[in-house]
Structure 1
Amino acid sequence: MDQQGHDGNYFISMTDMMVGVLFVFIIIVSYFVMELQKTVENNDVISRTAHERIVERKDKEIALLKEEIEKLKRKSWELYAAAANNKRSEIIQSISQKLEQQGIKVNVDLEVGVIRLEGDGLFNQTSSNLSERVGAVELINQLSGALYDSIRCYGLHKEEGLKPSLPEDFESCNPDQVFIEAVYVEGHSDSDRLRGTLKDGSRNNLELSARRATNTYAQMVSFTPSLTKIVNPFDQQALSTAAYGSQRPIKEGYSTAAKAANRRIDLRFVMYLPKDEAARASLQSRIERLQ
């Protein structure tokens, strides 16, 4: 999956290339200054035409160099984005494999970055209580452990009252320096309308899906408290919740199978993508200060 390879940190390579381009830029400017000085020394007075030609040539060279620098910046950002996307797929596959080793099968969608747990394995209909379903709590416990093991290298770690830090093995386990921005525990429901108020207080599918998400989240962090210590580059906790009710079905129709598929928990992974090369460079500088 990794298209970059690990022959070395490509951020260092891109930085070296940009430094090299700037060095060439300095040499060219120095050359034109020297040429201008020689012309003045040899002729005492330089003609306006000759001066304009020198300036025009210098401006063209500078413009070309600036264009090359911008191309390198865009390429650096594109490489970072590709590395982040590849790593997201690797994380999802890693979690899936860890769960399969425990006899737990999940559905994955690498294109959108989601692990899906169908609701029939977690919740009874019209319920948000994990303990009502045999094996549901154990399933979420296994999921939380696999999640922590698979993302711990792709976030900063923040103990209460302390500044964020990098994992001790950060250089070896995350050579591309990519980060998780968020992992959403998403609650979903089927399309059946609720009648009255449920035991958990839910009055509609959106509230039911929200309670399913928060109950799943609570069980995850109860079993694996270290999940709450993983933060993104903005020092925000990575693990969070979201709820969609019946708004995002994955199967159309009103069959029992369709409803079971739509009544689910999704684990959605969002990687950090800096808005531009300057933001990426700022992140790299922060990493260097933490190392």
Structure 2
Amino acid sequence: MLRHPRKISQEEEAESVFVSMTDMTVGFLFIMILLLAFFASQYDDTETVPRPVYNSALDERDAALAEVERLKQQLEDLQDRIAELERLNTRKDARIAELEKKLAELQDRLKAKDPIELYNAQSARTRRTIIEALARAVKKDIDEEQIAGLDVSTQGDALRFQGTGLFASGQGTLSGASLRIIRQLGQHLSRELPCYSIGPRSDIRLDCNPGLVLIETVQVEGHTDSDGSETTNLQLSSQRALSAFAQIAPDTNGTGTPSMLDFRNLLDQPVMAVAGYGEMRPIADNGTVRGKAANRRIDLRFIMYVPPGKDLIPNTVSDISRISAALQAREAEQ
């Protein structure tokens, strides 16, 4: 009988604990219900997006990130290229400075160079300009008249006429189309010579002849192929040169003296001259028909004045008459 009250007390205690835990559970659930109710009240389905739109946004984000990476790489590449160009520019500036230094040295050397050499160099350049201008004019004449078999070229100090349309084998005179072309050459030449010669038709000016260079001789040279004897070919080449000269410098006034002889050099000699070389100066193989046609040719050779001393270099137009008188006096003394 003494243990019965103790048993009742333990049961009551267990029941009390159960009730307390039940109350706590109920309370927790109540709180959860309240929270769920709160969050439910805050839910707005307008702030959500469909899954496809969400996935599309993710794809766009990934593409944008990839584009950013690509642009970063491109930027790095451009920066590397800029650095390389800056290095090249630095080397270029150094090269320019080096070339400018060399140019200054050459200019200094040029200033110290022999004035006769400078004058002769200017003469050579001017001669080239004259010959090329004549070649262009004659080629235009040939094209306009549609002449076949006549070739014109520049060869150093000469203007060269050759081809099957110039001279037939054994023929010493020009005829037909070649005759007209050589006559037109004389007209072109008569427009060039006044600025580079003295005499009645001289017209030396700085605007057409800034270097004051002068022509010593314009030599009309005749040539042949190897057919026939050397003596015969010398005569034939001279005949060809005279035939060309007659068309270049015709006697237009009927005086017996071609007007082209009015162009004089500093020794007061006619600039125009004639020479025949026969077969002695071939430019092609005489063993072929084409080579022989090339050797039957006319060369118009330009020989420029070479000052025999520094005091005989013209610096002004008025110097030319003084130099001419001095050269003629020297010639007379010899």
Q: CA RMSD in A?
A: 2.6
Q: Percent identity?
A: 36
Residue in 2 aligned with 1:16?
Answer: none
Q: Which has the higher helix share?
A: 2
What's the TM-score, normalizing by structure 2? Answer: 0.55
Deviation for aligned residue 1:284: 6.6
Residue in 1 aligned with 2:178?
Answer: 136
Higher relative CO (CA 8 A, sep ≥ 6), structure 1 or 2?
1
Residue in 2 aligned with 1:217?
Answer: 245
Deviation for aligned residue 1:74: 5.4
Residue in 2 aligned with 1:81?
Answer: 120
Deviation for aligned residue 1:257: 0.7
Distance 1:207 1:288, change over 3 A: closer
Contact 1:182 1:271 in 2 (8 A): yes
Deviation for aligned residue 1:278: 2.5
Q: Select 1:101's aligned residue among 140, 148, 153.
A: 140
Number of residue equivalences: 202
Mapped to 2, the partners of 1:78 and 1:142 lie a distance apart of 35
Q: Which amino acid aligns with 1:214?
A: L
Contact 1:98 1:146 in 2 (8 A): yes
SS at match of 2:191: helix
Q: Which amino acid aligns with 1:88?
A: R
Residue in 1 aligned with 2:287?
Answer: 254
Distance 1:171 1:211, change over 3 A: same
Deviation for aligned residue 1:261: 0.5
- What pairs with 1:78-227 in structure 2 (closer than 5 Å)? 78-103=117-142, 105-109=151-155, 111=156, 113-118=157-162, 120-131=164-175, 134-158=176-200, 166-167=202-203, 170-193=205-228, 204-222=232-250, 225-227=258-260
Q: Which amino acid aligns with 1:123?
A: F
Which protein has the larger Cα radius of gyration, Structure 1 or Structure 2?
Answer: 2
Matched, 1:238 2:277: no
SS at match of 1:170: coil
Mapped to 1, the partners of 2:208 and 2:237 lie a distance apart of 35
Distance 1:154 1:73, change over 3 A: farther
Deviations 1:59-82 (A, max 9, x none): xxxxxxxxxxxx978522121111
Q: Which amino acid aligns with 2:281?
A: R
Deviations 1:103-151 (A, max 9, x none): 3551111x3x0111115222221011213xx212101111111112223
Mapped to 1, the partners of 2:321 and 2:222 lie a distance apart of 38
Distance 1:262 1:280, change over 3 A: same
Mapped to 2, the partners of 1:175 and 1:283 lie a distance apart of 9
Q: Gaps (5+ residues) in structure 1? A: 1-70, 160-165, 195-201
What's the TM-score, normalizing by structure 1? Answer: 0.63
